[in-house]
Structure 1
């Protein structure tokens, strides 16, 4: 099978013995507490649109080799129920075998097409309203008050002199694509509120796990 160049580059990066922080690129991960907070307010999520076997937030997900932009998300959600979550990659647009494999403009175009077919698609995106890909057509935008720091992937091994974590934070927003949405077009929510809700859910999950198997996850 002829693997697309994005996947080839990603596999090579993961296989290195050490990495520079700037090389993490598209692979920053949504912190669990934040994800659970977003899930509580806009889910339940059953499909992770841009993930891998190490960082997927849902049992069902697309990895880079699947190319989410060549998939029918609406049909998948019709089977799964629930909603889809995306912490999308921001790589510049590239095509392979007649399909876009990266690029925020193609991602948002595909999302709009899936919305028309039905389903809810919730994107956790940079609050970059001046970018050409900014989703003016989203049914709801929730701007997050407070800057967000993301988690490093588990394969990241810092090279000499490189940090083991990032202190950088970003302004973020939650974009909801759902033609059945009946709420306001714009809202604001604090990072602290999302994290508090998420931590509460994580605590409940750990308690349930202890009751079931006697060990906390």
Structure 2
């Protein structure tokens, strides 16, 4: 498998920068990566595209950096629904505050941390062409 495609602008999959993830993992202690490929999975337990994380149960402390294409709203809804059922999910998302999914499932319902500057995903040499945000779905979460 040519993993370089997962880090290029020819895909909607953007691999989370490891140091960025490590800082969040130190705070939240993730147990499941809901959307990964073997080459970029951030947790021991993870769902691949073939397993389709949207169709799987999200349990434990979930990390999700979903594909940023047209279906990103489905991933956000899944995180919202998981948290509504008592679960806990942290997502890395493009900061698209003008979208329906942002207003329906994030704005006023979650903790949002806008990222200063632009992230460099995977092995990209240049920063992303979009701003990013971390969205925390779920109740009390620090140091659990």
- Answer with 1 or 2: which has the greater Rg: 1
Partner of 2:140: 181
Task: Determine which of 140, 145, 149 is the counterpart of 2:111.
Answer: 140
Partner of 1:68: 53
Aligned residues: 138
Partner of 1:86: 64
Partner of 1:107: 75
For normalisation by structure 2, the TM-score amounts to 0.82
For normalisation by structure 1, the TM-score amounts to 0.57
The verdict on how the C-alpha distance between 1:137 and 1:47 changes in structure 2, with shifts beyond 3 A counting, is farther
Unaligned runs of 5+ in 2: none
Unaligned runs of 5+ in 1: 1-10, 78-82, 93-102, 153-164, 184-217
Q: CA RMSD for the aligned pairs?
A: 2.7
2:15 maps to 1:29:
yes
The verdict on how the C-alpha distance between 1:21 and 1:106 changes in structure 2, with shifts beyond 3 A counting, is closer
Deviations 1:75-134 (A, max 9, x none): x32xxxxx1111111222xxxxxxxxxx12221222221112222100011111112222
Give the conservation status (yes or no) of the 8 Å contact 2:7–2:121.
Answer: no
Task: Determine which of 113, 117, 125 is the counterpart of 1:166.
Answer: 125
Give the conservation status (yes or no) of the 8 Å contact 2:68–2:94.
Answer: no
The verdict on how the C-alpha distance between 1:21 and 1:117 changes in structure 2, with shifts beyond 3 A counting, is closer
**SS across alignment from 1:36:** helix
User: Which structure shows the bigger proportion of residues in helix conformation?
Assistant: 1
Give the conservation status (yes or no) of the 8 Å contact 1:138–1:175.
Answer: no
